[in-house]
Amino acid sequence: MNFRRLFLIATPYGWLLALFMVPFLIVLKISLSDTAVAIPPYAPTFDLSAGWAGLKELFSGLDFENFVWLTEDDLYWKSYVSSLKIAAVATFFTLLIGYPVAYAMSRARSEWRPTLMMLIILPFWSSALIRVYAWIGILSSEGYLNQVLLWLGVVDQPLTILNTQIAVYIGIVYTYLPFMILPVYASLEKLDESLLEAAEDLGCSRVSAFWRVTFPLSKPGIIAGCFLVFIPSLGEFVIPSILGGSRTLMIGKVLWEEFFNNRDWPVASAVAVVLLLILVIPIVLFQRNEEKNA
């Protein structure tokens, strides 16, 4: 192996080992440590100078009591369940809204498609924080939505939407809509038109041709889109903390509060480890789906 090749491989490798792998191992270690009232607020710490004896002591100091604590206090499992539920429901609504848009894009004239594509991608480039913030003005009790509804006479009391789970659903659908539209559009665009013509020649109505030909063929895009929305919304912090109010439980927010407000690092680390274990399942399924369609 020559020097140039070694340098090429070792530089990014070393960087990722030091700043991705090692930090992750530290989280794992701290999640097994005891809470202590100190700075940093956990024990035991690393002490490499103690050598082998120190290492043995380190491992004997590790235990699973933070994980036991997670199962005993129902705040945590309630947050995991509620995160899973919110992510699943939001993914469903994203599909419901995103599919017709992707479908219409694939039916548009081919010279419009790049422009439409850019219009879908553009919001993704601007700050998610700002885009979520924009909804406060719309959803608050004196916000634009309530102003319009009151003016139309649809409601006579302003609706409470901000600081509820509905606001979180809206925020997730809004933020991740491009993630659904793009893969679905990619699979619809590849669709061979002659299949639809054949179906119609054979007596299918246009609606049943859609359900029997188009929809099944767009399944890989739908599955990819669902994972791309579900996976990031599970650990979402910004949306529930801005739109969800104090009563919406999501695990990303719980981790944040455990860390910054309660300063309980071992529990925050344990929360992180469990969240990762939950995420492994959809990620592996997603990868299988991608490989199958590659």
Site residues for another protein, 131-150, by CB under 8 A, read 131, 133-138, 140, 142-144, 147
- Which contiguous run of DSSP H or E holds residue 165? helix 165-189
202 vs 113: CA distance, rounded Å: 30
Among 89, 116, 196, 217, binds another protein (CB under 8 A): 116
- Beta carbon nearer to another protein, 77 or 256: 256
Cβ atoms within 10 Å of 216's Cβ, excluding its own: 9
150 vs 17: CA distance, rounded Å: 57
Q: Is 248 in the site for another protein (CB under 8 A)?
A: no
Stretch that binds another protein, among 73-81, 149-157, 213-221, 274-282 (CB under 8 A): 274-282
Q: Is 285 in the site for another protein (CB under 8 A)?
A: no
- In whole angstroms, how close is the CB of 215 to another protein at the nearest point? 15
Helix (H, G, I), strand (E, B) or coil at 109: coil
Omega before 40 cis (within 30°)? Answer: yes
- In whole angstroms, how close is the CB of 20 to another protein at the nearest point? 5
According to DSSP, the β-strands at 34-35 and 42-43 are antiparallel
Identify the CA nearest to 167 among candidates 143, 196, 190, 192. 143
Among 255, 264, 267, 270, binds another protein (CB under 8 A): 255
- Asked if residues 51 and 45 have their Cβ atoms less than 8 Å apart, the reply is no
Helix (H, G, I), strand (E, B) or coil at 187: helix
- In whole angstroms, how close is the CB of 69 to another protein at the nearest point? 17
Q: E strands within the chain?
A: 34-35, 42-43
Q: Is 230 in the site for another protein (CB under 8 A)?
A: no
Block residue for tokens 């309660």 = 262
Q: Is 37 in the site for another protein (CB under 8 A)?
A: no
- In whole angstroms, how close is the CB of 62 to another protein at the nearest point? 15
Sequence-ordered alpha helix ranges (H) in 190-243 = 193-201, 206-209, 215-217, 219-234, 238-243
Stretch that binds another protein, among 57-65, 67-75, 150-158, 271-279 (CB under 8 A): 271-279
Binders of another protein in range 50-109 (CB under 8 A): 97-98, 100-101, 103-105, 107-109
* Token couple for 91: 């993914």
Size of the site for another protein (CB under 8 A): 84
- Beta carbon nearer to another protein, 21 or 155: 21
Among 50, 68, 81, 129, binds another protein (CB under 8 A): 129
- In whole angstroms, how close is the CB of 160 to another protein at the nearest point? 15
Binders of another protein in range 174-213 (CB under 8 A): 174, 177-178, 181, 193
Block residue for tokens 């705040």 = 75
- In whole angstroms, how close is the CB of 260 to another protein at the nearest point? 8
- In whole angstroms, how close is the CB of 123 to another protein at the nearest point? 5
15 vs 5: CA distance, rounded Å: 16
